[in-house]
Amino acid sequence: MNEELVVIGIDGGGTHTRVMVCDLRGHVLSYIERGSASFYKDENAVQNVQGALADALRQANRAHDHVQALVAGVAGFDAPNDLEWITPLTELPGLTCPKWHVNDAVSAHAGALLGEPGIVVIAGTGSIIVGITEDGQFIRNYDFHHYAASAARFIAYDAVYEILAGNTDGTDQELVQAMLAHWQFSSIDGLAAAAKKGFAEDRRERDKQFGEFAPAITAAAAQGSSTAIRVCSRAVDQIKVGLELIAASFASSEVTVTFIGSVANSPYFLERLNERLLHGNRKQYRVAKPQLSPVIGSVLLALKNLNIPIASDVIENLRNGMSH
């Protein structure tokens, strides 16, 4: 096996782009993080991804013609016409290897469950629930036209609306103060006036500002804020509905579930999700920690597309590479 040959895996999220270059035995040669890969979140998405690719190859000391395959898992790849903005992300001049573009949930599933059947719940910058059944069906909650409004910005919008509507009590004081500080207002009236004008004209900037407030909401829920608990509980319930929709297609009575993303892995969400899944409607659920990261999932898919066996030593090399 030519020692110089490599594959590239990309995890293109709404907040961060992660690029990994590995040899064909899974040794990690470079790992780079940059800004968003989503056109909907950052107008500089193409520059972010192409810049990360160039830096990763440079750090790995590999030329473009050493690359045998590239897999990019990209947030927001939900329909074939999305390729219009997704394909340019990886069109680095001179990089002519075979390229596969998939939804970032596909890469997340490949890394988290190593190709085994199960369901991955992603709730962070974005939200999607995906499952791969025992007979290889790939099912998304989107396929049912279901969406779990559990992405960071959605729980923030929900909390702001609740507070502006006056649905608060004494347990919410710290959350209200944190909200006013985040938006730099001294009173609810000031925040309400900004809300009537749509908060901010630029949608990307507005969503980013709301998304950045989500950790304050999950923390407030853990501290007993009734508004934060109400908002988070709604999101958890929507996740469970989407999860159960997908689980119905599994043959086994027990389905493995894993959680990815800043919202899903916040202490409050993790605790509530685990509680809810103790009482499945048709299935029993086994909650597992993700085996490997989504960017490694993309690497595994790249190796698979080259028909390279994913032996245990390859997995171990990838795991060790990320731990250094």
Q: What is the pLDDT of residues 156-173, one digit of tens each?
A: 999 999 999 999 999 999
Pick the range with the lowest mean pLDDT from 70-74, 240-244, 311-315. Answer: 311-315
What DSSP element (H or E) covers 119? strand 118-123
Structural domain contains residue 218: yes
Residue 2: per-residue pLDDT? 73
Q: For residues 306 and 284, state if they share a domain.
A: no
Residues 41 and 137 in one domain: no
SS3 percent helix, strand, coil of the chain, rounded to 5, is: 50, 20, 35
User: How confident is the model at residue 1, as a pLDDT?
Assistant: 60
Q: Could you tell me if 198 and 213 lie in one domain? A: yes
The CATH number of the domain holding residue 79 is 3.30.420.40
Contact in structure between 87 and 118 (CB atoms under 8 Å)? no
User: Which 8-state DSSP code applies to residue 253?
Assistant: S
Give the mean model confidence (pLDDT) for residues 18-39. Answer: 95
d(CA 300, CA 310): 7
119 and 81 in a common domain: no
Domain that includes residue 151, residue range: 115-290
Task: Determine the average pLDDT of the residues in 179-187.
Answer: 96
Alpha helices in the chain, H assignment, sequence order? 45-60, 83-86, 104-113, 152-164, 173-183, 188-196, 203-211, 214-222, 226-247, 267-277, 294-305, 312-323
Q: How confident is the model at residue 266 (pLDDT cuts 50, 70, 90)?
A: very high
Strand order in the sheet with 254-260: 138-140, 127-132, 118-123, 254-260, 284-287
Asked if the structure places residue 299 within a domain, the reply is yes
pTM equals 0.89
Same domain? 206 vs 160: yes
Those residues whose C-beta lies under 8 Å from the C-beta of residue 231, and which sit 6 or more positions away, are 155, 158, 159, 162, 217, 221
| Residues 234 and 299 placed together within one structural domain of the fold | no
Structure confidence at residue 323 (pLDDT): 67
Kindly state the tokens that stand for 162.
């609740």
Number of domains in the chain: 2
105 & 176 share domain: no
Percent pLDDT > 70 in the chain is: 99
Distance of CA 188 to the CA centre of its chain: 32
Q: Are residues 247 and 297 in the same domain?
A: no
pLDDT at 42: 85
Check whether 324 has a pLDDT greater than 60.
no
Task: Give a yes or no: residue 131 inside a domain.
Answer: yes
Note the pLDDT tens digit of each residue in 61-84: 999 999 999 999 998 898 899 999
CA dist 213 and 223 (Å) reads 16
pLDDT of 316 > 70? The answer is yes
pLDDT single digits (tens) 185-213: 999 999 999 999 999 889 989 999 999 99
Q: Examine the domain organization and report whether 242 and 139 are in the same domain.
A: yes
Question: Is it the case that residue 253 has pLDDT exceeding 70?
Answer: yes
Same domain, 136 and 247: yes
Beta bridge partners of residue 85, listed in sequence order: none
Q: Are residues 226 and 191 in the same domain?
A: yes
In a domain, 1, yes or no: no
The answer to the question of residue 80 being in a domain is yes
pLDDT at 171: 98
Query: Would you say residue 96 lies in a domain?
Result: yes
User: What letter represents residue 181's amino acid?
Assistant: A
* Cβ-contact 258, 288 below 8 angstroms: yes
Q: In terms of domains, do 189 and 221 share one?
A: yes
Kindly state whether residue 19 falls inside one of the protein's structural domains.
Answer: yes
The whole-number average pLDDT for the span 226-252 is 98
